[in-house]
Homo-oligomer: A and B are copies of this chain.
């Protein structure tokens, strides 16, 4: 009988309901509105029910974070149509930073907040995030191979470039540069990319 299959399917549908309710709240009202009770309201079940489908809140945030990584990956797909590795590298940086500034709270959840990391399945099953990172790494490697970046270690260069971008956007997102008004963030990022790549890329 296909009973257990149906049960399995219903369980997945419920998880999906919870996740999309969480996402709706997150998008519409921000991170602080994503509470177990609000999610429960949204799906018209009791708070305790949520715990029958997700171990804890951090697991929900982890699943939510994953949707963010998927969206970022999706945006990175255009890179495959850019032949020159330097152009590809520049485009990577722009896509990354644009994503961060356009989805500040999601970026925060993905790269800054502690909570979702407490629920990572395992240190290795970090697949969604790793995919984007390996894409960047291969772009940098292409730059090195093409003689556009000179370094003995492409992995270090990759990490440095990521760190630079993450550094800038996280300073803005967590408001550590109050001297710079928000409407200039995008411009400053462009200038920083310009400066850095001018020195790194030949």
Contacts and interface: CB of A to CB of B under 8 A. Distances in A.
Contacts of A12: none
A119 interface: no
A182 interface: no
Interface residues of A, number: 38
A111 to B, nearest CB: 6
A94 to B, nearest CB: 16
A78 interface: no
Closest 4 CB pairs of A and B: A167-B167, A163-B167, A163-B168, A166-B167
Interface of A: 111-114, 117, 120, 123, 126, 150-151, 153, 156-157, 159-160, 162-168, 170-171, 174-179, 188, 191-192, 195-196, 198-200
27 contacts: A111-B174, A111-B176, A112-B112, A112-B170, A112-B174, A114-B174, A117-B175, A123-B178, A126-B179, A151-B195, A151-B199, A156-B195, A157-B195, A159-B177, A160-B164, A160-B168, A160-B192, A160-B196, A162-B171, A163-B164, A164-B164, A164-B167, A165-B167, A167-B167, A167-B168, A170-B170, A196-B200
